[in-house]
Amino acid sequence: MRPDTPAAHITEAERLLRTAAQYPGDREPLYLRAAAHLELAGDRPGATALYDELLSSEPADPHLIRALKAANLWEYGHEAEARAIIEGLRVARPSDAAPWEIAAETLEAHDELEEAEATLTQAARLLLVSPDDLPHATRSLITTRHRVRRMLALPHDDWDALADRLHTGAVPLDELHDPKRLWSLGSEDPAELQAEIARLRSELGTYRTALSRPFPVAVLHWPERELDELLAAYPELEAEYPTYTAHLTDIEASLRELAQAGTPNLGIVRATVPSYEAFAASESTHPSNADLLPQYATTLAARARATAWPPARGAECWCGSGETYGKCHGDAVTLR
């Protein structure tokens, strides 16, 4: 069965819901992924039901869920309800970029370009306090805003210029977001078609990077008490973790080495002994098996448990010391 068939998406949604029942602490991200698969399968009412089930509790990110619900509702004829949700989001002024961008792209998809631009501009005023160390989601938002404004033939402003500076692709944003690109797809000139293929490949690379964000390459971090408990129960793992200080040093060194090798999307996942033991049981192996550790890290990352590395400027260090990252493990001296 091909993975992009409706039946395959339904099967994957069912698997994710079973996993959510097994790991109730990860219910929200697993439900969101299941809802996405239901949308791809064409079961939009089923996806809405999952969004409503999440909203009926106390979700960690209700604004994101409402934005996704609005996008889904509009696709199967519930335009008025979708508009009301989007207006509610704008009034609520969420502090994360993702709900803003989803709402704006929903408006854009239904030819509401002026409203999409107004939504993105409102978000930019709220979120772009400083252009330094912008989170990935905020960078994506101003890139989307650049595209919408290009389609409206609006002149560049400071935020458009910032989007241009942050763009790392081979094809400039102005060219990627040129509305005339659509016309070239119908051209009979091979040179024009080849140029458009190059542009699309560049844009696809950007989308692939964005889509990979929820699943970073992750490294395990055992808090000190958890590590003590782990080694007391499974002394066979002492070769992996000789001391807590060495464990922290190894984490930072490994991440820096991966970054220098060009590995994108790095993250840290916090481990606990009960979670690790449950994972070992699910894999039908013993927790003392050191080969299980990277698999455990990957599974936690896939369940949206990873924290991006390196931390933003001024943020607390990932190790939990309470110091800023720059004064703790972000200081190069710590690795000397």
Domain boundaries, the chain: 6-211, 217-335
- Residue 199 has a pLDDT of 64
- Residue 211 has a pLDDT of 44
Compute the 3-state secondary structure of the chain and give helix, strand, coil in percent, each to the nearest 5: 65, 5, 30
Range among 25-29, 97-101, 187-191, 264-268 rated most confident: 97-101
Q: Would you tell me the crossing angle of helices 224-233 and 244-260 to the nearest 10 degrees? A: 110
Distances (CA, A) of 78 to 44, 70, 93, 256: 11, 9, 23, 48
Q: pLDDT tens, 122-151?
A: 999 999 987 667 888 899 999 999 999 998
Tell whether the model's pLDDT for residue 212 goes beyond 60: no
Tell whether the model's pLDDT for residue 178 goes beyond 50: yes
CATH architecture of 6-211: Alpha Horseshoe (1.25)
Query: CB of 102 within 8 A of CB of 135?
Result: no
- Is the pTM higher than 0.75? no
Q: Confidence class of residue 333 from pLDDT cuts 50, 70 and 90?
A: very low
Distances (CA, A) of 152 to 52, 108, 216, 268, 325: 35, 11, 35, 41, 42
Q: pLDDT tens, 23-64?
A: 888 899 899 999 999 998 999 999 999 999 999 999 999 999
Tell whether the model's pLDDT for residue 334 goes beyond 50: no
Q: Between these two residues, 3 and 168, which has the higher pLDDT value?
A: 168
Distance CA 192, CA 181 (A): 10
At residue 234, φ and ψ (nearest 5 deg) are -135, 75
Tell whether the model's pLDDT for residue 208 goes beyond 60: no
Tell whether the model's pLDDT for residue 214 goes beyond 60: no
- How much of the chain exceeds pLDDT 90, in percent? 54
- Residue 8 has a pLDDT of 86
317 burial (CB, 10 Å; 0-12 / 13-18 / 19+) is buried
pLDDT average, residue stretch 305-311: 87
Q: Confidence class of residue 179 from pLDDT cuts 50, 70 and 90?
A: confident
Tell whether the model's pLDDT for residue 93 goes beyond 80: yes
pLDDT average, residue stretch 92-121: 95
Tell whether the model's pLDDT for residue 285 goes beyond 90: no
Tell whether the model's pLDDT for residue 224 goes beyond 90: yes
